[in-house]
Amino acid sequence: MLKDATRYRYGNRDDAARCAHVDEENARRRELLAAAHPAWLRRALLEAIRDGVSPREAAERLRTSFQAIYALARIDPEWGRELDEATSAACTCEGTGWKRQEPRKRCHCPIARAYRAEESRRERAQNP
C-alpha cells in the first residue's frame, strides 16, 4: 500500500492524496523558510529591532521580508517569542498601543500590533 503523498505523485487525485500532497508541500515550505533564516540572521534581525529599527526595515536590510519573519513566527513559537521580546524592548508606546500614531513613529511591540489588528478588523467590519 503506497502512502497517500506517493499516490499523488503517481497521478492519484482523490481527497486523501490531495491532502497528503498539500501537507507535504506545506512542510517543505516551512523547512525552506526556516533554512532561509539561520541563527546568525535571526540574531542580526533581533539586534536591529531591539535598537529601534522597524521589523520591516530590519528584514529588508537583511534581505528577507516582513512577511517572512512573521510567517516564521507562526511556525516557530520560539522565534515568535524572541521577536516579541525584541519589539517590546524597542517599545515607544509604553504598552498603550498609541491610538493615533504617525505611521513613521509606529510602535511594533505586540500590544501595538494587536491594537492595530483589532482596529483594522473593526474598520473592515464597518466597511465590508
Residues that bind Zn ion (CB under 5 A): 91, 93, 107, 109, 112
Residue 46 or 112: the one with the smaller Cβ distance to Zn ion is 112
Q: Say if CB 45 and CB 58 are below 8 A apart.
A: yes
Residue 49 or 107: the one with the smaller Cβ distance to Zn ion is 107
Residue 118 to residues 83, 115, 123, Cα–Cα distance (Å) = 20, 5, 9
For residue 79, how many other CB atoms are within 10 A of its CB? Answer: 19
Nearest-approach distance from CB 81 to Zn ion, in angstroms: 16
Nearest-approach distance from CB 89 to Zn ion, in angstroms: 10
Nearest-approach distance from CB 36 to Zn ion, in angstroms: 28
Nearest-approach distance from CB 2 to Zn ion, in angstroms: 52
Residue 5 or 91: the one with the smaller Cβ distance to Zn ion is 91
Q: Say if CB 90 and CB 55 are below 8 A apart.
A: no
Write out the three cell numbers for 5. 503523498
Residue 58 or 91: the one with the smaller Cβ distance to Zn ion is 91
29 — phi, psi (to 5°)?
Answer: -60, -40
